[in-house]
């Protein structure tokens, strides 16, 4: 499912990740995995701010301290 707004996107991710200002926290890794297909669909095929937010959420969730250790 592609989210059509940031509000819809965040609502879909409730319980999986939390965003406080510019910090993303993974609160339930299994839940995030379950929601990932929709999140990445929005990140690739979404539009404007909703797409950009989806991309940022994924990349931020992959930073050290979250799930995979992203680089360097």
Residue ranges binding another protein (CB under 8 A): 29, 32-33, 36-37, 39-40, 43-44, 54-55, 58-59, 61-62, 67-72
Least spacing, CB of residue 45 vs another protein, in Å = 10
Cβ atoms of 42 and 50 closer than 8 Å: yes
Residue with tokens 């990349």: 59
Cβ atoms of 62 and 43 closer than 8 Å: no
DSSP structure class, residue 28: -
Least spacing, CB of residue 43 vs another protein, in Å = 5
Q: Which is closer to another protein, CB of 6 or CB of 36?
A: 36
Least spacing, CB of residue 11 vs another protein, in Å = 19
Residue of 32, 21, 38, 23 lying closest to 67 (CA atoms): 32
Q: Which is closer to another protein, CB of 11 or CB of 69?
A: 69
């Amino acid at each position: 499912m592609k989210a059509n707004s940031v509000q819809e996107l965040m609502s879909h991710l409730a319980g999986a990740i939390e965003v406080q200002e510019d910090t993303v926290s993974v609160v339930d890794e299994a839940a995030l995995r379950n929601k990932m297909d929709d999140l990445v669909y929005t990140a690739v095929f979404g539009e404007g701010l909703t797409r950009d937010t989806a991309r940022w959420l994924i990349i931020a969730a992959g930073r050290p301290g979250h799930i995979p250790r992203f680089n360097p």
